[in-house]
Amino acid sequence: MVPYFGLILLIVWLPQAARQVLVWTYWWQVKEYRYDRFNLLFRSTDGRSDLDFAIVALKVALLAASIFVTELGILVLAAFLFLDFRTIYEIFSRRLRRPIFTQRALSILASGGFLVLIPILLVQFFPKINIYSSLFFGEIFLILGISMGICWTGIISQRAKKQKIAEAKRKLNQIRPFVIGVTGSYGKTTTKDFIAHLLSEKYQIVKTTGSQNTEFGIALNILENLKKGTKYFIAEMGAYKRGEVKVLADIVKPKMGVITGIEAQHLFLFGSLENIKKTKFELIEALPPNGTAVFNFSNPGCVELAQEAKNLPAKLKIKGYCLADNKSGDFKVDMESKVVSATQNGLYFEVSDGVQSKKFFAPLRGIHFLENLTGAILVARITGLSWKEIEKGCKTISLPEKTMQLKKLKNGSYIIDDSYNSTPAGFKSALAYLETFTRQKKAVITSGIIELGPVSKDVHKELGALMEGKIDRIILTNTDFLGDMSEGLGKDRKRLELVENVNLLRKSVGDLARKKFVILFEGRLPQSILDLTDNNE
Q: In this predicted model, what pLDDT tens digit does every residue of 359-369 receive, in sequence order?
A: 999 999 877 89
Handedness of CA 294, 296, 301, 307 (dihedral sign): positive
380 and 409 in one domain?
no
Is 123 a residue whose pLDDT tops 70? no
Mean pLDDT of the 413-433 span = 88
Please count the structural domains in the chain.
3
Mean pLDDT score of the chain, rounded to an integer?
89
Instruction: Output the pTM of the full model.
Output: 0.81
251 and 291 in one domain?
yes
pLDDT of 452:
81
267 and 324 in one domain?
yes
Is 344 a residue whose pLDDT tops 90? no
Task: Provide φ and ψ at 165, rounded to 5°.
Answer: -65, -40
Torsion of CA 156, 160, 161, 165, to 10 degrees: 160
Is 534 a residue whose pLDDT tops 60? no
284 closest CA partner among 263, 304, 264:
304
**Residue 377's CATH number:** 3.40.1190.10
Q: What is the pLDDT of residues 214-250, one digit of tens each?
A: 898 999 999 999 999 999 999 999 988 899 999 999 9
91 and 112 in one domain?
yes
pLDDT tier at 1 (50, 70, 90 boundaries)? very low
pLDDT of 433:
87
The percent helix, strand, coil of the chain (3-state, each to 5) is 55, 15, 30
Is 518 a residue whose pLDDT tops 80? yes
Mean pLDDT of the 313-331 span = 87
Q: Is residue 447 part of a domain?
A: yes
- CA 497 to chain centroid, in Å, comes to 24
pLDDT tier at 192 (50, 70, 90 boundaries)? very high
Domain boundary (106, 124, 156) is at: 156
224 and 301 in one domain?
yes
pLDDT tier at 271 (50, 70, 90 boundaries)? confident
Q: Which of 112-126, 143-157, 268-282, 402-416 bottoms out in mean pLDDT, i.e. has the lowest?
A: 112-126
Cα 420 from Cα 476, distance rounded (Å): 16
Q: What is the pLDDT of residues 48-64, one digit of tens each?
A: 888 999 999 999 999 99
Domain boundary (395, 421, 452) is at: 395
Domain boundary (345, 371, 395) is at: 395
pLDDT of 330:
79
Q: Which residues contact 459 (CB under 8 A, 6 or more apart)?
A: 264, 424, 449, 452
191 and 141 in one domain?
no
281 and 192 in one domain?
yes
Cα 374 from Cα 336, distance rounded (Å): 7
180 and 84 in one domain?
no
Contact assessment for residue 350 and residue 358, using Cβ atoms and an 8 Å cutoff: yes
Q: Is residue 127 part of a domain?
A: yes
315 and 200 in one domain?
yes
Is 536 a residue whose pLDDT tops 70? no
Q: Is residue 32 part of a domain?
A: yes
Beta strand 335-342 with 317-323 is parallel
Is 120 a residue whose pLDDT tops 70? no
Structural domain span for residue 416: 405-534
pLDDT of 3:
54
pLDDT of 2:
40
pLDDT of 537:
46
Is 93 a residue whose pLDDT tops 50? yes
312 and 433 in one domain?
no
**Beta partners for residue 475, in sequence order:** 445, 497
274 and 183 in one domain?
yes
Q: Is residue 88 part of a domain?
A: yes
Q: Is residue 106 part of a domain?
A: yes
Q: Which of 109-118, 300-309, 310-319, 373-382 bottoms out in mean pLDDT, i.e. has the lowest?
A: 109-118
Q: Is residue 168 part of a domain?
A: no
pLDDT of 331:
83
Q: Is residue 170 part of a domain?
A: no
Is 90 a residue whose pLDDT tops 80? yes
pLDDT of 109:
86
Is 157 a residue whose pLDDT tops 80? yes
Q: Which of 183-192, 226-235, 525-534 bottoms out in mean pLDDT, i.e. has the lowest?
A: 525-534
77 and 208 in one domain?
no
Q: Which of 31-35, 242-246, 379-383 bottoms out in mean pLDDT, i.e. has the lowest?
A: 31-35
Q: Is residue 169 part of a domain?
A: no
Cα 414 from Cα 518, distance rounded (Å): 5
**What are the Cα distances from residue 467, in Å, to 198, 315, 437?**
35, 45, 14
Cα 293 from Cα 239, distance rounded (Å): 19
Q: Which residues of 153-174 are buried (b: 16+ CB within 10 A; e: fewer)?
A: beeebeeebeebbeebbeebee
Is 46 a residue whose pLDDT tops 90? no
Cα 380 from Cα 360, distance rounded (Å): 15
Strands (E) across 353-467 are located at: 357-362, 405-408, 414-418, 442-446
Task: Provide φ and ψ at 314, rounded to 5°.
Answer: -70, -10
What percent of the chain stands above pLDDT 90? Answer: 54
**Residue 452's CATH number:** 3.90.190.20
